[in-house]
Amino acid sequence: MEPFVVHTREKRGWIEVICGSMFSGKTEELIRRLRRARIARLKVEIFKPALDTRYSEAEVVSHDENALRSTPVDTATQILLLVGEADVVGIDEAQFFDAELVDVCQRLARSGVRVIVSGLDQDYLGRPFEPMPQLMAVAEYVTKLHAICTVCGAPANHSQRLTPGGARVLLGARDVYEPRCRRCFQPDPAAPTSAPPPASESQEPSPEALQDEPG
């Protein structure tokens, strides 16, 4: 949920984090909040990692093709040099930035800037995707969004990689990734389509098995 902003004479800053799997609407929500800030006549600056050129080199673009003009940067510290007198700063695809992004966001918030960060909270193996966990820990507001699992239709929390390859960062859209729920998620793209666990895994252990366990 977007924070309820109370206007006071004192300029106050904070950090908002929008996270979730791919195709969960993270960038869409970031764009929505930034457009509302502009309607409120606030000065808005938007940044994205320069390596993310999937849809545009100079725009923040959602998978639904909504877009806002942005400034591509190679490192998080460049944001401090380019932010100017912004009241609101939007940062997309935060998982592609270095660990310095956390300090950059903290410094902006302490200076009275509203910082809105969007990014994946997990990589294609289901591991926390730095620096998102650290940002979520220091943020005042965290919004976690879910996509729809393409296998079973349940809320999806994972980004399933469909092509082989061990690199943690692999740019792509629906040709490379699809959203999956916990049950259907398979970190190994070469594995077969997820199936319900065997009955032996879902049943309670037998009394004999419990007696054989140590302690």
Active-site amino acid positions: 93
Q: Which two tokens stand for residue 11?
A: 């300029």
Residue 157 three-state SS: coil
Backbone angles phi, psi at 44, to 5 degrees: -115, 135
- Strand 155-156 to 59-61 pairing: unpaired
Residue type, 135: L
Is residue 117 a contact partner of residue 91, using CB atoms and an 8 Å limit?
yes
Continuous segment of H or E residues that includes residue 63? none
